[in-house]
Amino acid sequence: MASCSPLLLLVLCTLTVAEAQLKLFNLRASNLPSGILGTTDGYVKVFCGSVTLGETSVRNNNPNPWWEEEFTHFNARKNDVMRLEVHDSDILFDDLLGVCQRQIKLGTHKHDCFLEKGGTLHYTYSLG
Ligand SMILES: [Ca+2]
C-alpha cells in the first residue's frame, strides 16, 4: 500500500519502545537487624537493569532509617528490573541485609519488601 510508508512504520516502532523516566523516592526501612558490632548503619544501593543509579547516605545506629535521596533514571523501560540492595555499614565489611528486585511498571507504586536478614524496606517509584 502506498499510504503505509516505511518511515511511518519506523516512527511507530520507536514510539512503542519509548524510554520512560523512572523516579525512586520515599526510601525508608523498619526493624533492621543489628550486626556483630551492635549498631545498624543502613544504606541502600540502587540499580536499574545494568545501570547503577547510586546509593544513599549511611544512617548510623538507626534500625528504622529513612533517606531523603531520590533516584532518577531517564532511560528506563517498562519491565526493566529495578534492584535495591540494603547494606549495614561496618568497619571492615558491610553486611548485605537483603535485596529487593522488581520489574517496573508504568504509574506510581508503593512497595514493602521483606529483607532476608530481617527488617523491611519501604519505597515508592514512578515510571512514566
Ligand atoms: Ca553496622
For 3-20, how does the pLDDT look when each residue is reduced to its tens digit (9 = 90+)? 556 666 666 555 556 789
pLDDT bracket for residue 34 (50, 70, 90): confident
Rounded mean pLDDT, 6-35: 79
The answer to the question of residue 12 being in a domain is no
Task: Kindly state whether residue 81 falls inside one of the protein's structural domains.
Answer: yes
What percent of the chain is predicted at pLDDT more than 90? 77
Domain that holds residue 52: 20-127
Residue 84 within a domain: yes
Is 79 within the bounds of a domain?
Answer: yes
Which CATH number is 76's domain given?
2.60.40.150
Q: How does pLDDT run across 54-74, given as a tens digit for each residue? A: 999 999 999 999 999 999 999
In-domain check, residue 66? yes
Counting the structural domains of the chain, the total is: 1
Q: What is the 3-state secondary structure (H, E, C) of 19-73?
A: CEEEEEEEEEEECCCCCCCCCCCEEEEEEECCEEEEECCCECCCCCCEECCCEEE
In the reported structure, the alpha carbon of residue 2 is separated from the centroid of ligand 1 by a whole-number distance in angstroms of 68
Nearest Cα to Cα of residue 34 among 65, 68, 69: 65
CA of 109 to the centre of ligand 1 (A): 30
8 inside domain: no
Domain membership flag for residue 6? no
Q: Does residue 45 lie within any of the structural domains?
A: yes
Which residue, 10, 2, 113, 97, is CA-closest to 59?
97
In the reported structure, the alpha carbon of residue 91 is separated from the centroid of ligand 1 by a whole-number distance in angstroms of 7
